[in-house]
Structure 1
């Protein structure tokens, strides 16, 4: 009986600890499935990225001239559009470089005026731009390890306050962030038990919770087997007690 009482206490306390995390999993999972992931990512708040197939004008500079003008070796080049203007995106030894295909001007790092043009060109139904900030070290939500432009839009008639993060090297609209995304991100961290990077599926918290769940299950198996054995023992003892 001492072992049974001990296992009952272990099962109870492990159940309380594990039950809290189970509820957090259920709540965070519910939050994450209520809103479509496309809405969370702000796909409805930006226009699609323009295609790379460009009908080059006769005034565009030859690629060979642009490559020769680069101070570092060029590994590859491809066409693109930046705020509706034709550009070459060069992959160089020093990193990506955007070149105006008409003038040959180097656009990287992206100037504030160009970043604003990109934001206005890519936004869909958003309010007025209320701030523009150069970030040498962007926050985690930007998803960038290089400097970026942070452009804040005020709420529109049917759209929330929105933040655009634009890669300063390429002019790429890297991320669209809203309150919905930040709420989702918080619950995602709760769900995978990584409250800092929101990326680690193999944290010690997960391992500890898994061990608790295993011990909880083993204790439950012991208690169940013990109860079944006691019930069977009582049934076997009943006939002799009547006689």
Structure 2
């Protein structure tokens, strides 16, 4: 191979290495963190207490009682009914679809006291904080409480039911328990290790908007550039290898027989 091609391969490999080297480093750091982390700990499962069960002898009214109240509001389509426990009290979680004037139907949730059948509003801040303390396995010192009505693609509570209360505890690792106000349930626990994981995952997937799109164009482009970088490195090794050049120089010349 002539010197021109040798220099072209070397220059291509050098420029590709500088351009994509930072992303290679981020991929490596992210991969190390992912492989050395326990996903159950990252998800905060070790900080969740199981839900308290309800007594089988508890007296409950029929779900038809709160359903009649919903019918008076114009609701005619029930999706499902669930019995949940909120602060040791039985609560019906009524999921229904409400038709609007523009022809669209929106899924909504209504809570009702399962002991009386009376409809009730969403959880108050005091109830959500008490529920978070009940379900949180760490110390119960609350640092702050926020009421969320909207989140963006970078929020740690993205794409989950709103409105919600974010109850942050001082220890461990600034754990935040998210309670869906209208559902009456704990949705997730987020800690500093999860936040690091989330940041590295965004850098790993190169999805800087929602984090979970592994088919985005930027990731595909860098994957191709990475393949070219590796390929040019192999090519550079072969064209600059002293052993290969020595073999080429020492290759015996063909003997020409003269008549």
Taking structure 1 as the reference length, the TM-score comes to: 0.84
Q: 1:220 to 1:124 in 2, by over 3 A?
A: closer
Does the 8 Å contact 2:43/2:189 carry over to 1?
Answer: yes
Alpha-carbon separation, structure 1, partners of 2:82 and 2:55: 10
Cα 1:222/1:125, change in 2 over 3 Å:
closer
Give 1:61's aligned residue.
61
CA distance in 1, matches of 2:195, 2:138: 21
* Separation in structure 1 between the aligned mates of residue 148 and residue 215 of structure 2, nearest angstrom: 31
Taking structure 1 as reference, are residues 35 and 226 closer, same or farther at Cα in structure 2, changes over 3 Å only?
A: closer
Contact 1:47–1:122 (8 Å) recurs in 2: yes
Indicate which of 73, 80, 83 corresponds to 2:84: 80
**Matched residue, 1:100:** 113
C-alpha distance in structure 2 between counterparts of 1:3 and 1:160, whole Å:
55
Q: Aligned to 2:250, what secondary structure does the other structure show?
A: helix
TM-score scaled to structure 2, two decimals?
0.80
8 Å CA contact 1:90–1:98 kept in 2: the answer is yes
Match of 1:128 among 141, 158, 173: 141
1:152 aligns with 2:181: no
| Correspondence 1:235 to 2:250 | yes
Q: Pick one of 29, 47, 50 that aligns with 1:48.
A: 50
- Structure 2 CA distance, aligned partners of 1:235 and 1:50? 82
What is the CA–CA distance in structure 1 between the aligned matches of 2:145 and 2:233, rounded to whole Å? 58
Structure whose residues are more often helix by fraction:
1
- Distance in structure 2 (CA, Å) of the matches to 1:64 and 1:171: 20
Q: Which residue of 2 aligns with 1:33?
A: 35
- Higher mean displacement: 62-71 or 223-232: 223-232
2:206 is aligned, of 171, 193, 207, to 193
Q: How does 1:145-224 map to 2 (within 5 A)?
A: 145-155=161-171, 159-224=172-237
Structure 2 unaligned segments of length 5 or more: list them. 98-106
> How far off its partner does 1:206 sit?
1.0
Distance 2:116 2:137 in 1: 29
Q: Return 5+ residue gaps in structure 1 as ranges.
A: none
Distance 2:234 2:145 in 1: 60
Contact 2:69/2:119 (8 A) holds in 1: no
